[in-house]
Amino acid sequence: MSPRFARRLDGIEISMIRQIMSRAAGCVNLGLGEPEFADPPRVRKQARRVLQGGRIGYSPNAGIPELCRRVHEYHGGRGGHSVCVTNGSQEALFDAVFALAGPGDEVLVPNPGYVTYPTAVRLAGATPVPYPLRSRDGFRLDSEALKALVSPRTRALILNTPSNPTGRSLTLEQLQGAARLAEENDLVLVSDEIYRETHYGTPPPSVLDATDAAVVICGFSKAAAMTGWRLGWACGPRAIIDKVTVLHQNTSICASTLTQRAALALFTPEGRDEIERLRQRMVRNRLLTCRWLGRRMGQAFVPPDGAFYVMVSIEETGLDSLSASLEMLQDKVATIPGAAFGSEGEGYLRLSFACRPESLRKGLRRFETGINRLVQNRK
């Protein structure tokens, strides 16, 4: 039997990231965007308590009320806003895109940007329109270039701050500019702020500091190293979140009740301390990585002000990013080709420094060997 598949899947494949990682056995992982740290002990303890307690049934579709209230407060507690808790922020992203755009519509997505954005838009039947974050400008948002891409069909603008893969955060002025653009063109801002707690200076502004009329996508996968717990949410204007909840109900009924109840532990002073401890580890890893790349290797890179990625130029190797990343597997280090995130990522490899310091040092040593080898090969 050869099954026929829905047309919406045409051209949609497993991402380049997974393709690299599937060949990366025995490599130090500077590839995947997943903290290599243990999840917070408070969450584990609370989960054990929940397991030992009574039955774990469905929660209300939008999430258990106490968690929704906490998340609402976490995003400023704005009047007219509500929350839908989802299975990871990835689901929230899908639900928001599906709620806002369909055939004939366009959605602006960052280039380079997280691979799911254009895929979710395509699966919703709409057209992703990439807006450039140019490497020659240090991957900064060019508000004029963005404006020029808005059309009468544009329904939403996806922002990601701090960004995967660039590590850049948007400034309040840039967010205010995006808010004006949204208002003037009747489109919705969807701001993925999953890395908001991972910053290396003052906390980055949220889109909600610029406007109330935006949807924030967030969760604790990154800040609390809880990738496998699958906890995320969308928070924003009630009318939009109601639609997100309709989609969420029909795809997954509710997020894991065990996870939701355990995650309440993060909204206590002790839980906040654990998140801060994880952030401090990232601060040290970022310093180690930037020093290594700068002083030891003299390598061109864009220092991140948030998230746990750094984009490193591979210009000297003369290779495209996919070839360089595949070559590096020989040196037993996994990195992600910048091109996986869009054409503006070409010429770079994305390194994730969210690993234990021992792995990070080992990975950076191998990366150094690999780059030197590729540069020598070119000569």
Ligand X SMILES: Cc1ncc(COP(=O)(O)O)c(C=O)c1O
Q: Which residues bind ligand X (CB under 6 A)?
A: 33, 88-90, 114, 160, 164, 192, 194, 219, 221, 227, 232
Asked whether 117 and 109 are in contact (CB, 8 A), the reply is yes
Comparing CB distances to ligand X, the nearer of 159 and 319 is 159
Comparing CB distances to ligand X, the nearer of 114 and 367 is 114
Residues 6+ apart with CB under 8 A from 45: 265
Burial group, residue 74, by CB count within 10 angstroms (0-12, 13-18, 19+): middle
Minimum distance of ligand X from residue 319's CB (angstroms): 25
Comparing CB distances to ligand X, the nearer of 59 and 164 is 164
Minimum distance of ligand X from residue 88's CB (angstroms): 3
Minimum distance of ligand X from residue 304's CB (angstroms): 13
Comparing CB distances to ligand X, the nearer of 63 and 219 is 219
Minimum distance of ligand X from residue 221's CB (angstroms): 3
Minimum distance of ligand X from residue 207's CB (angstroms): 14
Comparing CB distances to ligand X, the nearer of 118 and 232 is 232
For residue 233, which phi and psi values (nearest 5 degrees)? -165, 165
Comparing CB distances to ligand X, the nearer of 236 and 370 is 236
Comparing CB distances to ligand X, the nearer of 354 and 374 is 354
Which residue has the closest beta carbon to ligand X? 88
Separation of CA 269 from chain center: 26
Tell whether the torsion through CA atoms of 319, 111, 209 and 225 is positive or negative. Answer: negative
Beta strands in 15-122 (DSSP E): 28-29, 81-86, 106-111
C-alpha 365/C-alpha 93 separation (Å) is 36
> DSSP label at 127?
E
Minimum distance of ligand X from residue 374's CB (angstroms): 27
Separation of CA 304 from chain center: 14
Which of 61, 59, 62 has its CA nearest to residue 83?
A: 62
Minimum distance of ligand X from residue 194's CB (angstroms): 4
Structure-token match 């369909």, residue found: 102
